[in-house]
């Protein structure tokens, strides 16, 4: 239980810090870089190294690459849904989570088959 | 001169519960990643390190702030709100390249030194993201210049 409380607090602080930095920066497209900051990764990898060691965190970062590529695809889809389909931000970002899941697991499976 | 600058106005626009929502979402995403890792292994858990859970909240807040600002000026602001959120998404797509560099650098360095892995990966994210943003900006300005000179050339050719 204590582990998850620590995870929650560490994750909350790191994510809020990056989000506030993004709020402060202009222009908006530059601030968007902080929307894809590795904030959850920093907290999680820190705890992973402490609890399970470097090789466990290394394994997590390897599959994080597939997640990051999926995030790129996700962001482009969100952009198109907002501009072309004229959806509001909440439905556009939530609907695109399906795209992220398909892309992330698709790339992860593909990388597994290639290695 | 660099076009990047700080603006404190967005902090004044923010409400306390919006910061609380982001804190809770960040905490929940970290807990969720930990749960996935412990149930399904490090490899599947690692995928969720790049989950755009926070992005949903950030884009929605950006749109909301923009709409609020335009409504105060007597406009609906929905189109402007969507455009602001789309700009944020465009930036996030470049940030994803930075995140990919973060993961690659961390993977390469973690076996030799944990501290070097965190520092190197964070630097890789910052340098690659900022470089990608500047490159995109440069390409857009070159394209804009070409488009501006294009019709003039065609006019001179056919006149």
Q: How far is CA B74 from CA A104, B9, B10, B134, in A?
A: 43, 19, 20, 35
Chain B residue numbers with beta carbons less than 8 Å from the beta carbon of A53 are none
Q: Is B73 part of a structural domain of the chain? A: yes
Q: Kindly report each contact of residues A92-99 with a partner whose C-beta sits within 8 Å and lies 24 or more positions away, as own/partner.
A: A92/B59, A92/B85, A93/B52, A93/B55, A93/B56, A93/B59, A93/B60, A94/B56, A96/B52, A97/B52, A97/B56, A99/A70, A99/A73, A99/A74
Q: What is the ipTM of this complex?
A: 0.92
* Rounded Cα gap, residues B120 and B10, in angstroms: 31
Q: Which residue of A has its CA nearest to B115?
A: A46
Chain B stretch 82-111, residues whose beta carbon is closer than 8 A to a beta carbon of chain A: 82-100, 102-104, 106-107, 110-111
Which residue among B6, B26, B103 places its CB closest to the CB of A40? Answer: B26
Give tens-digit pLDDT for A17-58.
988 888 888 887 888 888 788 989 998 999 999 999 999 999
- Chain A nearest C-alpha distance from B124 (Å): 11
Q: Could you give the number of structural domains in chain B?
A: 1
Give tens-digit pLDDT for A51-80.
999 999 999 999 999 999 999 999 999 999
Q: Is B33 part of a structural domain of the chain? A: no
> For residue B53, is pLDDT > 80?
no
Q: Are B96 and A69 in contact (CB under 8 A)?
A: yes
Residues with Cβ within 8 Å of residue A12, at least 6 apart in sequence: B23, B24, B26, B27, B30
Q: What percent of chain B has pLDDT over 70?
A: 92
Q: Is B44 part of a structural domain of the chain? A: no
Please answer yes or no on whether B26 and A86 come within 8 Å at the CB atom: no
* Closest C-alpha to A90, from B85, B27, B14: B85
What is the pLDDT at residue B150?
65
Q: Could you list the residue range(s) of the whole structural domain that residue B112 is in?
A: 52-158
Judge whether B26 is closer than 8 Å to chain A, CB to CB: yes
> Using alpha carbons only, what angle is made at residue B146 by residues B144 and B151, rounded to the nearest 5 degrees?
110
Q: Are B81 and B89 in contact (CB under 8 A)?
A: no
Q: Is B120 part of a structural domain of the chain? A: yes
Chain B stretch 41-80, residues whose beta carbon is closer than 8 A to a beta carbon of chain A: 42-56, 58-60, 62-63, 78
**pLDDT tier at B54 (50, 70, 90 boundaries)?**
confident
* Rounded Cα gap, residues A8 and B78, in angstroms: 34
């Amino acid at each position: 239980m204590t582990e998850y409380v620590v995870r929650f607090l560490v994750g909350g602080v790191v994510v809020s810090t990056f989000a506030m930095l993004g709020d402060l920066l202009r222009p908006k497209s530059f601030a968007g870089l902080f929307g894809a900051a590795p904030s959850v990764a920093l907290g999680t990898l820190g705890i992973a190294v402490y609890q399970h060691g470097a090789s466990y965190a290394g394994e997590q970062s390897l599959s994080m690459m597939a997640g990051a590529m999926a995030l790129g695809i996700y962001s482009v889809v969100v952009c198109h849904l907002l501009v072309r389909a004229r959806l509001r931000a909440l439905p556009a970002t939530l609907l695109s989570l399906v795209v992220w899941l398909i892309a992330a697991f698709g790339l992860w499976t593909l990388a597994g088959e290639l290695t | 001169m660099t076009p990047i600058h700080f603006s404190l106005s967005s902090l004044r626009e923010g409400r306390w519960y919006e910061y609380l929502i982001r804190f809770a979402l960040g905490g929940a995403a970290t807990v969720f990643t930990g749960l996935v890792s412990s149930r399904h292994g490090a490899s599947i858990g690692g995928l969720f390190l790049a989950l755009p859970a926070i992005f949903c909240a950030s884009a929605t807040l950006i749109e909301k702030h923009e709409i609020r600002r335009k409504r105060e000026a007597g406009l609906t602001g929905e189109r402007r709100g969507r455009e602001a959120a789309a700009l944020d998404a465009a930036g996030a797509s470049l940030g994803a390249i930075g995140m990919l560099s973060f993961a690659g650098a961390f993977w390469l360095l973690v076996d030799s030194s944990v501290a070097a892995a965190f520092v190197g990966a964070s630097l890789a994210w910052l340098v690659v993201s900022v470089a990608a943003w500047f490159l995109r900006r440069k390409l857009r300005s070159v394209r804009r210049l070409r488009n501006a000179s294009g019709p003039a050339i065609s006019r001179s050719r056919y006149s």
